[in-house]
Amino acid sequence: KAGVTQTPRYLIKTRGQQVTLSCSPISGHRSVSWYQQTPGQGLQFLFEYFSETQRNKGNFPGRFSGRQFSNSRSEMNVSTLELGDSALYLCASSLDLPGQGYYGYTFGSGTRLTVV
Amino acid sequence: EDKVVQSPLSLVVHEGDTVTLNCSYEVTNFRSLLWYKQEKKAPTFLFMLTSSGIEKKSGRLSSILDKKELFSILNITATQTGDSAVYLCAVVLTNTGNQFYFGTGTSLTVIP
């Protein structure tokens, strides 16, 4: 079965621009979470979407936003890009079964964003 | 503030050595601890630990959780060059859905 698909794989943007990243979860997975990974900070939680609703949000500024569509695909948007936003952005999807919400939690290969 | 700390930050060993990676946590509302292996991009799942003292094993890898002392270890025996990767530990809480709190990882290099 297909895994979690993230597009694009690589992206180079200029400071001040905005960017949209896409994540297609494993078929049947309804929960999609986004993480930012940098060498200094490791993996940090951005937000989680379930049934088109944001269920949890990490400690990131409002420039970071996301949404989920009815087919569970999710997008995240970063506006007014800063140099510090350069990172690997990972999404993960899961079945979200009752009592074992993160069952089958699977990561995509990520989008490498470079801001110049 | 919830915190997950991994040690050591990096490790270089020879093939055949045994390594022990550590993960300690200070969180409220602990639910589970997970270990992942990250070679290039996507972290891949290794173990999920919920109960204290029960060892999980998969081939040469094993892991155990101590909920009293708030830590977990990941053991790799007879290491191979293919074990070279970053090993990530993550904690899930009971009240934050699928939000994972990750440590910064341990970078393991196995040299022939």
Please, is B95 exposed, middle or buried when counting C-beta atoms within 10 Å of its C-beta (0-12, 13-18, 19+)?
Answer: exposed
Q: Per-residue confidence of chain B (112 residues) as pLDDT tens digits?
A: 789 999 999 999 999 999 999 999 998 888 899 999 999 889 999 999 988 888 999 999 999 999 899 999 999 999 999 999 999 999 988 776 778 899 999 999 999 9
What's the rounded mean pLDDT across residues A100-115? 83
Return the number of CB contacts < 8 Å for A and B: 65
Has residue A3 got a pLDDT over 80? yes
Task: Tell me the one-letter amino acid at B63.
Answer: S
Residues of B in contact with A105 (CB under 8 A): 34, 45, 98, 100
Write out the DSSP string of A17-68.
--EEEEEEPPTT--EEEEEEEETTTEEEEEEEEETTEEEEE-S--TTEEEEE
Write out the DSSP string of A69-109.
-TTS-EEEEE-S--GGG-EEEEEEEE--BTTBTTTT-EE--
Interface test with A, best of B41, B46, B50, B101 (most A CBs within 10 A): B41
pLDDT value of position A62: 96
- CA torsion sign for B13, B34, B29, B93 is positive
> Token digits for A42?
């490791």
Residues of A in contact with B43 (CB under 8 A): 43, 90, 107
Task: Tell me the one-letter amino acid at B42.
Answer: A
Residues of A in contact with B32 (CB under 8 A): 102
Rounded-to-integer distance, Cα A58 and Cα A24, Å = 21
pLDDT value of position A1: 62
Choose the most confident range, by mean pLDDT, from A48-57, A80-89, B31-40, B52-61.
Answer: A80-89
What's the rounded mean pLDDT across residues A4-8? 96
Rounded-to-integer distance, Cα B89 and Cα B100, Å = 9
The single residue listed with the structure tokens 């964003």 is A113
Rounded-to-integer distance, Cα B89 and Cα B33, Å = 7
* Candidates A31, A48, A109; nearest CB to B42: A109
Nearest Cα of chain B lies from the Cα of A79 at a distance, in angstroms, of 23
Alpha helices (runs of H) in B44-99, residue ranges in sequence order = none
pLDDT value of position A101: 54
Rounded-to-integer distance, Cα B37 and Cα A25, Å = 20
Has residue A103 got a pLDDT over 70? no
Write out the DSSP string of B13-27.
EETT--EEEEEEEE-
pLDDT value of position B99: 81
3 state DSSP class of B41: coil
Report which of A59, A67, A76, A96 is spatially closest to residue A19, judged by C-alpha positions: A76
Whether B98 sits inside 8 A of A88 (CB atoms) is no
What's the rounded mean pLDDT across residues A72-91? 97
Q: With pLDDT > 70 as the criterion, what percentage of chain A qualifies? A: 92
The confidence band for A98, taking pLDDT boundaries of 50, 70 and 90, is low
